[in-house]
Amino acid sequence: MMFVTLSCSLALCLVYLFYNFIDQRRSKSCYILHYECFKPSNDRKLPTEFSVDLINKCKNLGIEEHRFLLRALVSSGIGEETYAPRNILSKRGTLATLRDCQSEMDEFSIETLDTLFSLSGVSPQDIDILVVNVSGMTLVPSLTSRIINHYKMRADIKSFNISGMGCSASLISINLVQNMFKIHKNKLALVLTSEAIAPNWYNGKERSMILTNCLFRCGGCSILLTNKPALRKQAMFKLKCLVRTHLGSSDEAHACCRQQEDDQGHIGFFLGKALPKTATRGLTKNLRSMAPKILPLSAIFHYVLLVNIQKLRATYLHNTAKKRVTMNFKSGVDHFCLHPGGKAVIEGVKRSLVLAEEDVEPSRMTLHRFGNTSASGLWYVLGYMEAKMRLKKGDRVLMIGFGSGFKCNSCMWEVLRNLDDKNVWADCVDKFPPKLPIYPASRNMNGF
Amino acid sequence: MFHYARKSYYNYIDFVPKLFLLAIAFAISLLTIKESPNHLLNHVSFTHALTWFFLIISSFTLFFLKKPQTIYLVDFACFKPSFVLRVPFAAAAEHGRIILASQPKSYDFSLKILERSGLGEETCIPHPLHYIPPNLNMTDARDEAHMVIFSAMDSLFQTTGITPKDIDILIVNCSLFAPTPSLSAMVINKYKMKSDVKNYNLSGMGCSAGLISIDFAKNLLQVHPESYAVVISTETLTPNSYMGTERAMLLPNVLFRIGGAAILLSNKMSQHKHAKYKLLHVVRTHKGSDDKSYRCVSQEEDKDGHVGIALNLDLMLTAGKALKSNISTIGPLVLPVSEKLKFAANILGRKFLELDMKPYMPDFKKAFDHFCIHAGGRAVIDELQKNLGLSDEDVEASRMTLHRFGNTSSSSLWYELGYIEAKGRMKKGDRVWQIGFGSGFKCNSGVWECNKDIEATKAGAWADCIHRYPVNQPKVVKL
């Protein structure tokens, strides 16, 4: 009799432990319910001719800087329909007032959030966690407070305003939400990721700093996340894993992308020559931690085998001709979402991961259509894949972002249902990829 | 009302399975007690023993799984500015007279504020702001951040004995300066921290950002067991000195001073004996949905294009409202039963029976031994002292911090805690309430319990001047 009661109580304990375990696993999951990329109005488009005009009008620049810039513009991979802040396009010039900066942010946040709330059916008062990441600007009150005020969100909302964390900040925000979801059950989180272009336009003539004017464009994305198990059916993506790598302990890596003043006192972003090398190092280190989590055992085993065979060859046959051994990421990943930082970045990652042209096509097309929108670029790339109807249930998407510091962050999403929304690409996705090479302005460059 | 009901439901629903199990356990113990001990021992076999063993292990696992991790504050270090950076009243008046020569009314206004500010003669501002006019550039702003943060971090490493490679989580909050790479990346670079350190850089969140960072660190430590988290709270004055003459925007120039703090938190079991404090609660309240509250502190451009922070006249009112909101959440967590009953009776009387009663402010002196109120300015401290019914001794830490260090924004709470420790008043079991206010409008509270008797040390920001305190600062210092 006693033994029976004992065993029953033990069984109950174990059942409860198991229930607890499953319950925690379920509520720790991070789902994307909806995401909305920002498409500024047509009057904010920045055609190449306008950029050329701007460069020509710039009194600070000498002839060499002109040539350098125009060449950079032509070969940047950026098209005619990227977006700039209103003050750049107006006759007021490139110096932005506080109001310009505030209105740039308001335009993005209000438009994307209005659409997001109406499409998802969630009301602003349901939001429990709000994260905003805009690298190049701090406002008082913070952008999170601006949004809380505009949408009259609840007083017990947990808000976080992240700044200065560069182009990989949207994955850092996702990481923040992921951690919050592990502690707090049944929550809805909103992540807004963007970049302030207006206050960061460089008005000087340093070559290493003027490139950013050619590459960075306006854009942003609002993402609605949840860990409510009940909303799993409506969710688009599930976060499988996220890895952050920081190379800040290396002085060279830390200094390769830095906001600083030039000799004349103009503030701009310095991009050093060590940037590509640092990015490769960061990517390697990050993928070393990421690979075991996302690749099947066979791919890892295959890689280890090949590396060891090469080592043995080198030791015993003195055959030091090294053929690069790379891990086959395509065995564990169906789609690659690479940060559209610039042509060089995309080429670099394509080479490192041994990817095909169609794998990097979404990133290239995003760079062409929207430019480098900094932290939110990854979401435009994701939008492209969705608009092209390539995201099917069960597909795995690998997002890789780079940022100043130097950081390399990556995460893996699992697609939970067939996705077919044309979203921000609706008016142009059928034109991509273009049949001709995308160098639109070279014919106007007159030999530059 | 519905919101509170929903919250309580979620808080208590977890108890149901636990209660169920407890009932089962009780029933089993009753059954076992009924049988005599001899009978028990005779019938114990190997299977019985094994079952007992697994039952005990399961119970312990259950207990440890469900128990939230205790978050310890191992130690903290405040930045001690060098004497060279101090700005006595005479210097402030002279600089003001020269810089605001074209606007005598603005100069008079600034002087009046300074006279009534509660600041002393030893508050400090960074080098660039000592120039006439101030020399503001990014390099100097970075240097200021270096000086404050690295100095505080070095003290922290010295007092705690940990190495930079031990740090797993790093959170930096600096409201008005967020360069790229971030300040957190700068710290990682300086101290060569490990590559998988989880770092976050919060900005724009005002003077209450310190407690936001603590709350965030607490959440992260719940997810990552056996870790160290460092929170750095600071404010960088160099890039944000107001260069115009608008009166409402001159206030921050008069009140804000250089300061910063580095705090080491941990959830390691080994810190159980060594840590100074245990974190009990952090409550965040955001009144941004109310337009008036939202607009009372905001960054604006004046008519000449100079950017500055304008403080609205109804700042005190907003602070009071935000505090009441915060108290309604934190009250039930910390007040003794007697106060809770009184408060409930008052609510019943006012809201349901519609009796003509004044709202009852619970006596927080029954729940807390020490109070750290954000040293935002004399008016803030006076207002809170009145609202909460505190004595002069309770708010002494805040007033003296304002006098010695000025308004150091988010790190002021740590200077105040340092004052209480330096005075030798912190004993084991004492409870501390930290209240921070910030733009938005936010009111955040942190509750700590002292883990061991703390002795006044020779190190620390207050070590060389604590013997001169408390000081009786007159309401108006005539300049």
* pLDDT at residue B147, as a whole number: 96
Whole-number Å distance between alpha carbons of B97 and B86: 18
DSSP B280-324: EEEEEEE-TTSHHHHHTEEEEE-TTS-EEEEE-TTHHHHHHHHHH
Best residue of A8, A152, A161 to probe chain B, by most B CBs closer than 10 Å: A161
Q: Which residues contact B22 (CB under 8 A, 6 or more apart)?
A: none
Q: Hey, is B438 helix, strand or coil?
A: strand
C-alpha pair distances (Å), B269 with each of A119, A204, B167, B225, B228: 47, 54, 16, 10, 11
* Whether pLDDT at A223 is above 90: yes
Residue A447 pLDDT grade (very low, low, confident, very high; cuts 50, 70, 90): very low
Give percent of chain A above pLDDT 90: 45
From A44-53, A205-214, B5-14, B388-397, the region with the lowest mean pLDDT: B5-14
CB B242 within 8 A of CB B250: yes
- How far B132 CA lies from chain A's nearest CA (Å)? 18
From the list B27, B55, B216, the residue facing A10 with the nearest CB is B55
* pLDDT at residue B424, as a whole number: 92
For residue B176, the chain A residues in CB contact (below 8 A) are: 138, 140
The strand pairing partners of B68, in sequence order, are none
For chain A, what is the HEC assignment?
CHHHHHHHHHHHHHHHHHHHHHHHHHHCCCEEEEEEECCCCHHHECCHHHHHHHHHHCCCCCHHHHHHHHHHHHCCCCCCCCECCHHHHCCCCCCCCHHHHHHHHHHHHHHHHHHHHHHHCCCHHHCCEEEEEECCCCCCCCHHHHHHHHHCCCCCCEEEEECCCHHHHHHHHHHHHHHHHHHCCCCEEEEEEECCCHHHCCCCCCHHHHHHHHHECCCEEEEEEECCHHHHHHCCEEEEEEEEEECCCCHHHHHCEEEEECCCCCEEEEECCCHHHHHHHHHHHHHHHHHHHHCCHHHHHHHHHHHHHHHHHHHHCCCCCCCCCCCCHHHCCCEEEECCCCHHHHHHHHHHHCCCHHHHHHHHHHHHHHCECHHHHHHHHHHHHHHCCCCCCCCEEEEEEEECCCEEEEEEEEECCCCCCCHHHCCCHHHCCCCCCCCCCHHHCCCC
Tens-place pLDDT, residues B319-329: 988 998 898 88
* pLDDT at residue A62, as a whole number: 77
Whole-number Å distance between alpha carbons of B32 and B13: 30
Residues 299-358 on A with a CB inside 8 Å of B are none
From the list B58, B222, B309, the residue facing A10 with the nearest CB is B58
Best residue of B180, B312, B315, B333 to probe chain A, by most A CBs closer than 10 Å: B180
* Whether pLDDT at A445 is above 50: no
- How far B90 CA lies from chain A's nearest CA (Å)? 31
Q: Is residue B407 flagged as an active site residue?
A: yes
The number of helix segments (H) and strand segments (E) in chain B equals: 16, 11
CB A254 within 8 A of CB B189: yes
Mean pLDDT of B168-174: 96
Tens-place pLDDT, residues A19-77: 777 777 766 789 999 999 999 998 888 888 887 777 777 776 778 877 887 788 878 88
Burial state string for A412-432 with b = 16 or more CB within 10 A and e = fewer than 16: bbebbeebebebbbeeebeeb
* pLDDT at residue B48, as a whole number: 73
Whole-number Å distance between alpha carbons of A13 and B20: 11
What's the sign of the alpha-carbon dihedral B83, B86, B91, B97? Answer: positive
Q: Which of B316, B319, B298 has the alpha carbon at shortest distance from B307? A: B298
For residue A260, the chain B residues in CB contact (below 8 A) are: 138-139
Please tell me what DSSP assigns to residue B331: H
Burial state string for A276-286 with b = 16 or more CB within 10 A and e = fewer than 16: bebbebbbebb
Whole-number Å distance between alpha carbons of B119 and B131: 21
Q: Is A13's CB within 8 Å of B198's CB?
A: no
Best residue of B2, B59, B195 to probe chain A, by most A CBs closer than 10 Å: B195
* pLDDT at residue A300, as a whole number: 87
Comparing alpha-carbon positions, the chain A residue that sits nearest to B32 is: A2
* Whether pLDDT at A440 is above 50: no
Tens-place pLDDT, residues B341-390: 888 888 788 877 777 777 788 889 989 999 999 999 898 899 899 989 99
Higher pLDDT, A379 or A68: A379
Q: Which of B133, B195, B187, B132 has the alpha carbon at shortest distance from B156? A: B187
* Whether pLDDT at A336 is above 60: yes
Tokens of A333: 């990943």
Mean pLDDT of B333-337: 89
Higher pLDDT, B394 or B49: B394
Burial state string for A49-87 with b = 16 or more CB within 10 A and e = fewer than 16: eebbebbeebeebeeebbebbbebbbebbbbbbbbbbbb
Mean pLDDT of A204-218: 84
Whole-number Å distance between alpha carbons of A423 and A421: 5
Tens-place pLDDT, residues A83-130: 988 888 887 777 888 889 999 999 999 999 999 999 999 999 999 999
Q: Which of B292, B172, B308 has the alpha carbon at shortest distance from B245? A: B308
- How far B220 CA lies from chain A's nearest CA (Å)? 6
Tokens of A334: 């169906």
Residue B417 pLDDT grade (very low, low, confident, very high; cuts 50, 70, 90): very high
Task: Return the amino acid letter for B454.
Answer: I
Residue A442 pLDDT grade (very low, low, confident, very high; cuts 50, 70, 90): very low
* pLDDT at residue B7, as a whole number: 53
Residue with tokens 């976080």: A160
Tens-place pLDDT, residues B219-254: 999 999 899 999 999 999 998 888 888 888 898 899
* Whether pLDDT at A12 is above 90: no
Tens-place pLDDT, residues B9-18: 555 555 666 6
Q: Is B299's CB within 8 Å of A142's CB?
A: no
From the list A13, A135, A161, the residue facing B180 with the nearest CB is A135
Higher pLDDT, A9 or A218: A218
* pLDDT at residue A32, as a whole number: 96
* Terminal C-alpha separation, chain B: 52
Q: Is B195's CB within 8 Å of A247's CB?
A: yes
* pLDDT at residue B39, as a whole number: 57
Residue B19 pLDDT grade (very low, low, confident, very high; cuts 50, 70, 90): confident
CB A68 within 8 A of CB A268: no
Length of chain A: 448
What's the sign of the alpha-carbon dihedral A297, A300, A301, A302? Answer: positive
B21 lies within 8 A of chain A by CB: yes
Q: Is residue A339 flagged as an active site residue?
A: yes
CB B311 within 8 A of CB B247: no
Helix H segments across B358-473?
378-388, 396-405, 412-422
- How far B260 CA lies from chain A's nearest CA (Å)? 19
Report the greatest alpha carbon distance in chain A.
97
Q: How many CB atoms lie within 10 A of CB B349?
A: 14
Q: How many CB pairs under 8 A join A and B?
A: 244
Residues 259-288 on B with a CB inside 8 Å of A are 284-288
Residues 256-285 on A with a CB inside 8 Å of B are 257-261, 265, 267, 269, 285
Q: Cite the beta strand spans of B189-227 per DSSP E.
A: 198-202
Report chain B's mean pLDDT, rounded to a whole number.
88
Tens-place pLDDT, residues A147-176: 999 999 999 999 999 999 989 999 999 999
Mean pLDDT of B253-270: 94
Tens-place pLDDT, residues B274-309: 999 999 999 999 999 999 999 999 888 888 888 899
Residue with tokens 């590509």: A276
A231 lies within 8 A of chain B by CB: no
